[in-house]
Amino acid sequence: MDLVFDGHNDVLLRLWRNRATGADPVAEFTDGVSDGHIDGPRAKAGGLAGGLCAIYIPSTEEFVLKEPDENGHYATPLAAPLNREPSLDIALQMASIALHLDRSGAWRLCRSTADIRSAMDAGVFAAVMHMEGCEAIDADLTALDVFYAAGLRSLGPVWSRNNLFGHGVPFAYPMSPDSGPGLTDAGFELIRACNSMGILVDLAHITEKGFWDVAKTTDQPLIASHSNAHALTPVARNLTDRQLDAIKETRGLVGLNYAVTMLRDDARDDAATPLSDMIRHIDYLVDRMGIDCVALGSDFDGATIPADIRDAGGNQKLVAALKGAGYADTDLAKICRDNWLRVLASAWHE
């Protein structure tokens, strides 16, 4: 079995929501459940050895992808900005769940690549605390210090909405990622702080202008944890060839997003999406950037994924499809885990 270290999931969001209905997050992850995508038993069954686990603050209104028009096009408006105080409360609650899982032994909260390798060797889920959209962080970045102490080692300045630090891209098809302004002054300060502290900066969800703002500011490899090729599926969330070239120049990486809207020709939210669509995006990314710059970023628990995979337990079906497409064992090791470990080590000053 090819173990996978995955670049993005929203399991903390699901555990947080279920806790509000009386569920025990530790028991849910340890014993397994029938809903969602990730828990301990399904991760083990599918060789999902760990990943970046997002603290994501849901929008105040339920997110619904806009229905396509007669041409199959859609443009879902950006979610409204969030207030910091309730966002901070939710972020702390999710961080608390991550810490409880760590203390119980349900997973291991990792702060170094040595921690990740040790957890994988022990057969324990290797979780890295990530923040997807920094609505919980203040302009003075005092909260960033506290979250770092709690284990935060990766963040994306924005989700697909605007905040204090920058601007996000909408869920729209077809649309360029050049959809709005980039980083704010506070955003540039955030990137510099991440560089200094050793926190990975994730470019998923940011506008193209924001992408280039980060590129000219950061000293890290450029990382898009869960994005695909705009040339194949021209949604605003996917990356243009020029962006892919910039990522290659820094020996960064792109993590393949399993979200069907970012894989299909028509960008529809349809689980009946073949694994061949995933392979064609992997092929394109490898052809454009090289095998060292491509990894996996499933978006488990945060998106509709192909029905053939279904959940973390089906992750090896993608690995098998890659083998069938001619990827050698050494290539698969890079795509499945080694490329992530390399860029994390660089961002974390190891």
pLDDT tens by residue, 246-298: 999 999 999 999 999 999 999 999 999 999 999 999 999 999 999 999 999 99
Q: Looking at residues 6-25, what average pLDDT do you find?
A: 98
> Rounded to an integer, what distance in angstroms lies between the CA atom of residue 48 and that of residue 146?
29
pLDDT in the model for residue 121: 97
CB 204 within 8 A of CB 8: yes
Task: Identify the H or E element spanning 49.
Answer: strand 48-55
What's the token pair of residue 146?
A: 């506290």
The CB density around residue 272, as the number of other CB atoms within 10 Å, is 10
pLDDT in the model for residue 216: 98
What's the token pair of residue 350?
A: 């190891």
Residue range 71-108, pLDDT digits in tens: 999 999 999 999 999 999 999 999 999 999 999 999 99
pLDDT in the model for residue 283: 98
Residue 61 has pLDDT above 90, yes or no: no
> Rounded to an integer, what distance in angstroms lies between the CA atom of residue 54 and that of residue 106?
17
Per-residue confidence at 144, pLDDT binned at 50, 70, 90?
Answer: very high
Q: Which of 1, 13, 86, 4 is nearest to 303 (CA)?
A: 13
CB 155 within 8 A of CB 149: no
What's the token pair of residue 290?
A: 């090289």
Residue range 121-137, pLDDT digits in tens: 999 999 999 999 999 99
Share of the chain above pLDDT 90, in %: 97
Per-residue confidence at 63, pLDDT binned at 50, 70, 90?
Answer: confident
Category of 52 on φ-ψ map: left (φ > 0), alpha (ψ -120 to 50) or beta: beta
What's the token pair of residue 117?
A: 């390798």
Residue 55 pairs with which residues in a beta bridge? 131
